[in-house]
Amino acid sequence: MYMDKIEKLKELITNANYIVFFGGAGVSTASGIKDFRSKDGLYNMKYDYPPETILSHTFFINKTDEFYKFYKDKLNCLDAKPNACHNYLTKLENDGKLKAIITQNIDGLHEKAKSKNIYELHGTIYKNYCMDCGKFFNANYVFESDGIPKCECGGIIKPDVVLYEEGLDDFTINESIKHLAKADLLIIAGTSLTVYPASGLINFYNGKDIVLINRDTTSFDNRASLLIQDDLNEVFKKLKELD
């Protein structure tokens, strides 16, 4: 039955002309990056403050030192490598099938895999800027700094990631909506579909088929024309074997 679903996914991909991929934290777990909501995820670890609080705009402003202790300890994924999912998506893009990757992840792994048309809804750890003068800094500068990373002008450097209480980038949202509206196949993978407004974007998809690949159940399962509840890295490994 499992391989029947992989073969069906392959058939849907073959017949599609405009694929959009919408991914969450589960896309990167095979690369050694923890997700947020699973039993081993960041939200189930014990800290002085809940991760949802630490990763908020208010906390960043008021307790910047505590924010960076958590950020440097738990969100440093500079050494992570793309996995089978990232690499297969790059192949689909190179084949002209995949038109857009819409990701909730901030780890930059799609870019490392050489994909090009990527929309990072929640930003990326690889871009950081001074809150005073606007100068940009790379991720190494931030993660290798002592304490709170500072600019030469004395300003505090902030990661270009969307924290709780902050809005999503308008350009990223609008471009994502444009691609979703044009797509004839939507592949959703590795996301609980509980983080809004990002997960609400999939409602702009008007195409026929939706593939949902996720280890756990979601509230969106009944809308999927193909539901695969398994480890998505293994799914994409099997998919590659059918090429």
Residues annotated catalytic, as ranges: 122
- Is beta strand 136-137 parallel, antiparallel or unpaired with respect to 123-130? antiparallel
Give the contacts of 236 (CB within 8 A, at least 6 positions apart).
Answer: 83, 84, 85, 87, 88
> What are the structure tokens assigned to 197, written together?
């407004």
- Residues 192 and 212: beta-carbon distance below 8 Å: no
End-to-end CA separation in angstroms for the chain: 19
